Structure 1
Amino acid sequence: MGFEEQSCNMSGNMSSNMSVNSSNIACKDEWTNRHVVSAVVYGLVLVVGLPLNGVSLWILLRRHGLRSSSAVLMINLAVSDLLLAVSLPLRIYFYATLDWPFGLGTCTAAIMLFRINFRTSCVFITLISLDRFFALVFPLRTRCLRTSAFASKCCVLVWILLTLLSIPNIVNHYNALKSSICGSDVKISCFESRDVVKGSKVAALSQAIFLLILFMVNFVCTAMVIRALKKRPSGDETKVNNKMNVILIFAVNMLVFIVFFMPFALQLMILNYNTENVNNQELRNNQEMLHALICLASINCCLDPLIYYFSLDSFWQDKDKIQWDATTQSISRSMERS
């Protein structure tokens, strides 16, 4: 951090060191409330999100498997949310104690695990919206795209690309953390290092633009699906319920983006826009807001299971029963046509 670097550069003047230490104490007292709130929020997300996504993943694998593109995408989303929740205990420890005894490598790994799964979660939610959009608006022309094999390839590609793109960020983050530590002072401000935030301007801006693009894709898909559903005549109660489920899928997706992802993306853009003309206090306030929005964004993994419930027909049914019901409906339709 900036105060620690200032302490490193001083030659040993006692009064200056006391001044720096008093500044650190004041800064620590100023951040205490947000640290406590962050520890509580991350703790609640861990307590709720870990079992919720664990159970959802078990249901998806056991009762639906990889038999459809929707199931494949949701399994990957559940894995992403589960891994994000697994990364939270270290954040909870840091914000509860304001201490980090686990070293630079563990800090960098915890941050990158959180970031990679945060980004993959955004992508998989968008892919689920696209999958539902194609199935409702262009059902015949996109049959080759809505297969479990194609969805699996897309998911593997997402994991590989986002992991590879994160490698330079990992190296830069590690070096920034390492340079912010004084020679004899091994204290690491793991999730609060200002030097790391200031040193990743291009990467942060790119991530903000990426989130904005994903939001626009979800918005367009939602608008076109609602338009397509309005044109369809209302039928029996089953069809009405299916329409409501489809609308709820897109409503949850848009809610996740608007409430959890978009504030974070906009704050990244604000933080990286014209930082040279911003005073230190305003820059600190922007960084404080960014850390708070990162904490808010983690809550999305607790809402994603709603997507599974509304997206998959008969979510709680066994896959053998679902397959039998689908076969029965197909036979009955064939008899009606003949």
Structure 2
Amino acid sequence: MHNVSMRQNGTMELRHPAYALVFGSVIGLGLPLNAVCLWILLRHHSLKSPNTIFMVNLAISDLLLVISLPMRVYYYATGTWPLSNMACIWATMLFRNNIRSSSMFITFISVDRLLAVVYPLRSRHLRTSSIAWKGAAFVWLIVVMVNIPESVEFSRHLNDHNVSSCFEFYPSELDKKLHRSGAAYFQLVLLFTMLAVNIVSTALVSWTLQRQLNDSARVNNKVNVMLIFAMNLVMFTVFFLPVSLVVFFNNLRPALNCLASVNCCLDPLLYYFSFDGFWRKKEDVDTSLARE
């Protein structure tokens, strides 16, 4: 048993530099990409557009994730945690919040595109800036409400056990407490529900676009719109769901956290730049959307 334990510890020690490298790469790509995208959205697009509002909040969510990663890089590079328990809890919550908020904002973007393509006239009273801001506020409210029980359990565990590490303080008793709080299962149910919404939205939009005329302008719009929906499904199946299922595979937690963090680098590349009007001002974007 002693040899097995030593081998397991050795394996973890070898993994730590790899985790530090991944998180460091995410910082190097995610910080400038999301900062530039946020600047473009605020400068070139009006916050009266629901799609812009959701993308701005998505960029903010990704930036909050990125600013929590330097602490993970230090921990996995050195194997030590020099900061307080509260700093550990904040870093952990910022990471977990990104999965929740990003998945919800991406779903809102899908629903907005669904309404714009399938019900362009009947949905105008729904696709307003007021409703979009209320939706964004609702997302952050859910995130805060889920944070409260999780943060309390993390704090109790760190104080009771005098844990000197961070990000890997998930023994069986803590996982059981989190399960009893319902936060883990709430996140799973929420993600599967939003995945179903994205699948249905993709099917409806694809069916609608196939019925439209195949002139070159519409073909380009079709490709861009379907790319958004395809990337939505990739985000859920590759980045969001695996890290949420980690409650059943606790030993894979650090690796799946690394995988999940990559989503903040792909959001600017695969979502923002998939729009024809991303670099154009709002008047041109509205004209483009009206032709959909």
Q: Deviations over 1:52-90 (max 9, x none)?
A: 000000000001130311111101101100111111001
- Map of 2:101 onto structure 1: 120
**Residue equivalent to 1:213:** 193
Distance in 2 (CA, whole Å) between partners of 1:212 and 1:329 is 29
1:93 to 74, 77, 92: 74
Change (3 A) 1:329 1:63: closer
Counterpart-to-counterpart distance in 2, 1:93 and 1:26: 23
* Aligned 1:154-169 pairs, distance under 5 A: 154-169=135-150
User: How many angstroms does 1:291 deviate by?
Assistant: 2.4
Q: Is the 8 A contact 1:84 1:118 kept in 2?
A: no
> Is the 2:146–2:183 contact (alpha carbons within 8 Å) kept by the matching residues of 1?
no
Q: 1 CA distance for matches of 2:260 and 2:289? A: 41
CA contact (8 A) 2:198 2:233 kept: yes
Residue of structure 2 equivalent to 1:180 = 161
Distance 1:287-1:325 versus aligned 2 partners, 3 A rule: closer
How many residues align? The count is 286
1:200 aligned residue: 178
**Which of 219, 225, 234 does residue 240 from structure 1 map onto?**
219
Conservation of the 8 A alpha-carbon contact between 1:212 and 1:265: no
* Counterpart among 254, 259, 271 of residue 233 in structure 2: 254
Deviation at 1:204, TM superposition (A): 1.6
Task: Provide the secondary structure at the position in 1 that maps to 2:123.
Answer: coil
Q: Which residue matches 2:261?
A: 298
Q: CA deviation at 1:117?
A: 2.4
Per the TM alignment, residue 228 of structure 1 is displaced from its structure 2 partner at its CA by 1.1
AA at the equivalent of 1:307? Y
Identical columns (%): 44
- TM-score normalised to structure 1 length: 0.79
Structure 2 unaligned spans of 5+: none
Distance 1:192 1:267 in 2: 12
8 Å Cα contact 2:30/2:265 also seen in 1: yes
Q: Quick one: structure 1 residues 216 and 329, their matched pair in 2 at CA, closer, same or farther if it must change by over 3 Å?
A: closer
Give the aligned residue type for 2:221: N
TM-score by length of 2: 0.90
Deviation at 1:150, TM superposition (A): 1.2
Cα shift at 1:325 = 8.2
Question: What stretches of structure 1 of length at least 5 have no aligned partner?
Answer: 1-18, 182-186, 272-285, 334-338
- Measured in 2, the distance between the counterparts of 1:100 and 1:204 equals 25
Bigger Rg over Cα: 1
Match of 1:323 in 2: 283
Contact kept, 8 Å, 1:249 with 1:310, in 2: the verdict is yes
1:68–1:148: 8 Å Cα contact kept in structure 2? yes
Q: Distance in 2 between matches of 1:329 and 1:78?
A: 22
* Contact 1:81–1:117, Cα closer than 8 Å, also in 2: yes
What is the match of residue 87 of structure 2? 106
SS of the counterpart of 1:199? helix
